[in-house]
Amino acid sequence: MDAEVFRAWIVSAAGVIEANRDHLTQLDAAIGDADHGINLARGFTAVLGALDAAAKPPATPGAILTVTGNTLISKVGGASGPLYGTAFRRAGKALGDAADVDLPALSAALDAALAGVQQLGAAREGDKTMVDALAPATRAFSKAIAEGASPDDALSVLAEAASAGAVATVSMQALKGRASYLGPRSVGHEDPGAVSTALILGALAGAAQAGR
């Protein structure tokens, strides 16, 4: 997977976040600040602008993810900017200067993204956050690769595990972020950060499969 695949991922992610902007904001209205979809859509629009405006377009997968992360941190308010920004920056750093990325390298980058999110947000699985989509997705992806799954199948496993993780947050009580203030009333709602994470990982799977 080269820089074109990673650029296609970010373009696709921006599109799916924009398409789901109102849905994400409605989810956030139930248990948060009612701004998750709005903020994230604005952030990814800024990312596309940054990628297009660069005098020297980022030429490697890692560079594309680093620009994405830096832009999200600078443009997105609330918790999602720093968390997503850190995730993309850590993934970009893990990929380094490699011009082409194989599945194990992508898996390691996603693990680095998860570690960055957990370090910054101090969230664990079960806390009803984006970690509840990202952690099972990275784990399932790594397992699929280790078991010799085809690239397309491994990428599908990644996306499906993220989506299942997001759905699983409905029954959880939030223990982190603004949603935690609601206590038991946070149960019964899907976590917006987990949903947006699943959307972004779904975009990754689609872009990588299309670019093969």
Tokens of 200: 């972004």
Burial class (CB in 10 A: 0-12, 13-18, 19+), 132: buried
pLDDT band per the 50, 70, 90 thresholds, residue 57? confident
Residue 6 has pLDDT above 80, yes or no: yes
Q: Would you place residue 199 in the very low, low, confident or very high pLDDT band (cuts 50, 70, 90)?
A: very high
pLDDT greater than 80 at residue 160: yes
Q: What is the pLDDT of residue 176?
A: 81
CB 84 within 8 A of CB 76: yes
User: Residue 31's pLDDT is what?
Assistant: 84
pLDDT of 179 strictly over 90: no
Tokens of 104: 């194990």
Q: What is the pLDDT of residue 101?
A: 96
Q: Which domain holds residue 195?
A: 3-210
Residue 111 · residue 138 · CB < 8 Å: yes
- The CATH number covering residue 71 comes to 1.25.40.340
Write down how long the chain is.
Answer: 212
Q: Could you give the 3-state DSSP secondary structure of residue 193?
A: helix
User: Helix (H, G, I), strand (E, B), or coil: what is residue 2?
Assistant: coil
> Is residue 158 scored above 80 in pLDDT?
yes
Cα atoms in the Cβ-side hemisphere of radius 13 Å centred on 188: 6
Nearest to 86 by CA among 108, 68, 61: 68
pLDDT band at 164 (very low <50, low <70, confident <90, very high): very high
CA-angle at 184, arms to 180 and 187, nearest 5°: 90
Structure confidence at residue 211 (pLDDT): 76
How far, in Å, CA of 13 to CA of 43, rounded? 11
CA pair distance 116, 111, nearest whole angstrom: 9
- Name which of 178, 109, 172 is nearest 137 in CA terms: 109
Return the residue matching tokens 């949903």.
Answer: 195
Task: Tell me the pLDDT band of 197, cut-offs 50, 70 and 90.
Answer: very high
pLDDT score at 177: 78
DSSP secondary-structure letter at 212?
-
* Of 125 and 31, more confident: 125
As a whole number, mean pLDDT of residues 8-35 equals 94
User: Has residue 212 got a pLDDT over 80?
Assistant: no
Q: How confident is the model at residue 201 (pLDDT cuts 50, 70, 90)?
A: very high
Tell whether the model's pLDDT for residue 196 goes beyond 80.
yes
Tokens for 188, please give them. 């019964």
**Single-letter residue type at 149:** A
The total domain count for the chain is 1
> Mean pLDDT in the chain?
94
